[in-house]
Homo-oligomer: A and B are copies of this chain.
């Protein structure tokens, strides 16, 4: 049994310190409950900016916030750094890597993880972008390849080390491709004057006929145009069929030599074992309109992991931060009602629009009501919305100052290879963990 002081209040266990989990803990602050939060990291990750860590624009401290610090004001709160393996719903108990613990209420907010759709070879060689260590790994990998490119006289290898393929034309794929295009245009040629950057290709692959499938067609086309300005080649209707760490085989028959393939093509839910199969669907947990897991009274799910079907969202809400934040918020209110014996109220998602940035002065924004913005104005909105969404005032400030610096100096400060001692073997293990889980 994990040591947690006993309490007269009911115990709410929350699994996952992402957007939904953190919001929920904060809003439960003054309720008569004991809160225990589990996360495998001791920090919350602001995932929308992970790609900037990967592309040498930010250090991890800008987008990660220690959970204990963030949640200090919450009374009756306990944090445990551990992965939750199994739920024993009959006995109201969870099993974790550090022991077991009873709950009165359980909230699953474990988010999503990279989906390789079963392609083992891609999984072993591609770089996912869902966690901070992955972003740091990618950053070092790209820089190490440029160092290696300077010392090879094999022109094919040189090109392969400089080339980068990004799979998946959603927001992450578009944003990382744009950031790499900016690096290629403004920073790398100064760092590596010996290399011919005409020979470097940045290729973004998208399986469907357009980028940013969740956004308007106007925005898709704008994003495409902006990416071209940053010398990113976009292949639509194209999938990657295989990748061995050096060459990517595409569905159009083409082969691209590249040492770096970034996988942003899909995510799937990431939940502990033990729930009834009837409460699961397509790697997500089915919840009713009050975030209650189908078939359970005292288990809830929120955020990416929760599939709440409705007239409007027949396959559940999109797996986005705003949904998670709003559900965390709403669930806290429902807990208040629950504790008072009142009826729970259904969740409705307020869609405030969606956006993606491509690079300096270039972004696309879809607002509700068919307003579609592009260019500098969209870029300003994108920055503003991201800044206010980052948890923690220090992080907001650090990110803001980094952006100002990068904008005026055309420089990015964190071109450091500091994971040199983490060999490929280890990355493989990390991925094995993801597979076997």
Contact = CB atoms under 8 A, between A and B. Distances in A.
Contacts of A136: 418
B416 A421 contact: no
A66 interface: yes
A191 interface: yes
Interface stretch (A14-22, A145-153, A175-183, A219-227): A145-153
Contacts of A397: 405
Contact of A426 (B405, B414, B422): B422
A416 B66 contact: yes
A130 B413 CA distance: 22
A192 B398 contact: no
Given A41-B420, A150-B80, A420-B133, A394 B405 contact: yes
A9 B3 CA distance: 70
A150 to B, nearest CB: 7
Interface string A317-358: 000000000000000000000000000000000000000000
Contacts of A144: 81
Contacts of A426: 421-423, 426
A97 to B, nearest CB: 10
Interface stretch (A56-64, A258-266, A275-283): A56-64
A437 interface: no
A392 B2 CA distance: 48
How many copies of this protein are present in the complex?
2
B420 A422 contact: no
Contacts of A395: 413
A125 interface: no
A411 B395 CA distance: 13
Contacts of A190: 69, 72
A138 to B, nearest CB: 14
A68 interface: yes
A151 B416 contact: no
A418 B133 contact: yes
Nearest to A78: B194
Interface in A115-143: 132-133, 136, 143
A43 B417 CA distance: 8
Contact of A42 (B41, B78, B80, B143): B143
A292 interface: no
In the A-B complex, the 9 residue pairs with the closest CB atoms: A59-B59, A68-B191, A66-B415, A61-B414, A81-B147, A59-B61, A42-B417, A43-B416, A394-B413
Interface of A: 2-3, 5, 40-43, 59-61, 64, 66, 68-69, 72, 78, 80-81, 98-99, 132-133, 136, 143-144, 147, 150-153, 190-192, 194, 394-395, 397-398, 401, 405, 409, 411, 413-423, 426, 429-430
